[in-house]
Structure 1
Amino acid sequence: MHEKVAGMILQKQKATVAMALSIANERYLAEDIKNKNIRQDYYKSLIAKYKENTLYKNIWIQIFDENITSLYRSWSPKKGDNLKNIRQDLVNVVINEEVAYSVSVGKFDLSIKAIVPLFIGKEFVGIVEVISHFNSISKELKKSNIDSVVVLKKEFKKQLEQPFTKLFIDDYYVANFDAPRAARDYLKHNGIEKYFNDSYKIENGQIIVSYELKNKNEKPVGYYIMFKKIDSISNMDLDFFMFKWLTLGIIVIMGIAIVVSTMLFFANRRQKKYYQNIIDSATNIVIINNRKSIVDVNEIFFKYFDRYKTLEEFKKENGCICNFFVKEDGYLQKDMNGIGWVDYLIQNNSLSHKVKINIFNKLYYFFISAYNLSNEEDYYSIVLTDITEQENYKKELEHLSVTDALTGIGNRRYFHNKIEEEIRRAKRYQHPLSLVMFDIDFFKEVNDKHGHGVGDEVLIEYAKLIHSLLRDADVFCRIGGEEFMIILPHASVDEARQIAEKLRIKVEECRKVIPITISFGVVEYIPGEEIEFIYKRVDDALYKAKASGRNTVVVG
């Protein structure tokens, strides 16, 4: 919930910037500002189109001249007031000559603002400001059974001269119209400040999560508080949540028991047999180690290293268990930034460490910890708790979250993760990167004529065909009903066009399930380009391919 609302707020900030940039690029706006003649009917019509065709139902537009005097406000007839001494954020935009966006507090609301300076040549002529609100975010979260209450910190209440929603919880302004009455009453009854943190609480049969809202200067201005009933959470999520914490609890208890048991040995050396029975009864791997080699192990050790009957046999072929560690980010390595792995565990024993081990071509995952057992001698207890099942379950969940259930290729979420990753690589190594978007021509007619079952078969079979024709490094995703994306690393736009043309011909020739054709849009990443803009360019190219008769490739 925390990550979801953070992502949605960032997405809305970027969308608000895109709107402001779009308005700022209007052909006649700069001249209209210079002439102090703003076409109000045009902006009323534009806002009506936003309301009709997007999720954003409460977009506000404000236009200033070169002196930061208001020329137009979409939500109020008031104009002609100078804000130079009131709005430092507007002044900063003029000084820095750059676009700015943030969560901000104004006279009317807690909102998301995007500010764009306008120039004719090098002459500064004015500012466009677009203001959006949190209502569309709370509506989207409601689809996931999450109720929202967006509150402004009470020290900013004095700035609200005309509160937009007119909703309050004590001295805290509520910024979203659809904040449920029951949630507001619950916060009021229990004390709203109790929920101002980045943790979560489980109360009254629901999970309550708070996300801190910060302005451009990283100063907290409010909180996004979310409520989700526990009985609306999927069984898979609950099972994993309970499984994780139960496992961690068992690990902590077993770790303490094992360490206490092994320390008893060094306090009572004559009771060697008693000590051996204790560590042999443990269900985790226990290794007694000194700085030179392994001194002892328990019986469970040989359950995993079953090629060896004794520790001596193991030590003849292996000087250290670290020889079996898999080198992979996020897992313990033999050498950790110049420090040996045992010393690293001892020095960081307050942290949780995982290790991936390849034992005779079979992969295992363990929580691993090390404890100094004696101040006089360098003896250590190494405890490895098998979490292979948990890690595999986690990986399976991660795989399901980024996989399209019908075709088995990446889904929209996977596409967004991978395009960000590939753009970072393209920037770092300065290699070309291209994007191909396509969809099936007249797919609605396929469903209407043959039924959705045949439509699904078409999607499955042709996704298999196209996937088989792509390179190993290419990323293939289904992002909508019959819409697909292909990310082509190290491919110029000409190479991408050739690949798309080959796919178009193969699909037309295949005729599996039923004959279909596909239209393609192709673009190449421009260094410094935002994801939203490359996405728009490839979408425009696909639209042109459709408009030009379909079953074709258009380069944007």
Structure 2
Amino acid sequence: MFDSIVRHKRLLLLTLGLLVLIQITSYYWISRINEQIETLRHQNIVQTLSQDLYHQISEKQAASTAIALTLANDVSHLLAEHNDVQYQAFNDLIAQITQKSNYKNLWVQVMDSDGDIVYRNWTKESTNDAPVSELKLLQAPRKDIITDSFDLTIRITTPIFHQKLRVGFLCLISHFNSIQRYFEGKHIQTLAVVPPELAQTMQHPFSEHRKGGFYIANLDPNPTLMKQITGADLHRWTSQNARPTVWQDKLVVAIPLRNLNKAPQGTLLAFYPLEATHRLDAGAELLTTKNITLIANITLTLLLLSGLVTFLIKKQRDYFQRIINAEEEIVLVSNGERLIDANQQLYNHFDNFRTDKRDCICDYFVEEDGFLQKYMGDQLWLDYLLEHRNDIHRAKCVLHGETYIFKLKAHTLLPGSNLAVVVLVDITELEALSEQLLEQSRIDELTQIGNRRFFNDYMEQQISLAKRHRHPLSLIFFDIDHFKKVNDVYGHQTGDVALRTVVDTLSTQLRESDVFFRVGGEEFMIVLAHHPLNQAKEIAERLRKRVERIQEASLPHLTISLGVAELDTHETLEQLLHRIDLALYEAKSNGRNCVCTA
């Protein structure tokens, strides 16, 4: 036997060398895989957490914008009359909206057309950080993240219009405390911090918390966290190009907060518990054990090595599949015509996907304008998504009689591949809330008919239809005669009763297709589709007589003056409103309580 070993010494040494090389290579390879898994786990957590943070900020900005538009629609009286009644009414309105929203600490600031502060609900300080030059250029709501003299806040600034004239500006300011509470519900602590160079400019800080020159915007930060962190930690985490850092038992993720000009305003720090990441990797220890076992057996045969590689690839795929299944969103892989792979959330929402034998998620898309369809013109839906990846895409699906709305985004799986990863987020409740807030912003609170903003939108639509289909479109414009005298003599409460009484009385005289709007204090518009001028004048005369017959013990005798106009073929809304305004002025000049046509 010894002679045989000696004769095959070179082959034995070569075999032993090969086995040692395989073991070293395998050990190094498995170590790299474990490092990549750890890195990928952190990257997935950072990506998911960052998306969640930006989504919360985006949701708060969207909700705040809807609230700001609602307030701006009701604030013109405050700019016109600085009295306790107007201030109290506006305070009550803010309290009502705050009670119905998830944001309990809203700051509201009203400025006149020159940028001077007319109203604030959180302080009596006169400091105004809003640049007047930028305000005067503002024509639509602006969303921003600002560090000013008071705090690091999410700010919505919107112009206030009255009769198409910009009469001022409204700022709705909210804080990061609701975002803090949201992530605390997920056992994730957050801190909104302002760097020392900006913190020094804060004259009236809302929060009393500071650390190493940094300003902490949270009103109620975690006490333990505040004791553990240092100014040096904050400087390291918020420095430029800072990467996620493992600190104590947490993964620290820094999300920069910038204003519309891309200037840094602060940083949102999230502290993700590492124990939660270990729970996600429940099979990591088992995977390591099996790797060691397979490496020990690799000396038996090179065939087992190929089996080990196959096993590891499968385990790695299962690992990624478990991570994807843990996502709240629907994640799928498709070529646009057929589903290739998906996480469990797809089958949680579309539980009959397999039984219906549908090939593609696009088979559920409802064909409706404004929503993604299977074919967008001559493009397949997935190609359209990839080509317009920076746009917001929504799809409507009907499942078991219920309507769901999803937001979609997609990116190519591999360069040159026809496969793409598609993510669907269920935004049904958010869409319903947005529709509700939009509806509230279009209704006059006192009379419960359409307001001026709704009138402008509705008229643009009706004028387009009238010109396209060549049918008549008429307007009746009226106001209550001597209404200022009613307010001055009987009080504003009686004036409000008079407005509601006139609206309720005339509403019963209109067709279902006639639309009633309050466009000013005591000014009203009635839109009469398919009515020429002579019919509109008859209706106006009938309405005038009906108001004249109103008999209410609590009200003085009421009359109205009316102007009537019909849309000309090439006329714009502004031209039509100018003509009907002249007609109303003529009715007033003729002694009021009469009808004049344009």
Normalised to the residue count of structure 1, the TM-score between the two structures is: 0.49
Larger radius of gyration: 2
Normalised to the residue count of structure 2, the TM-score between the two structures is: 0.46
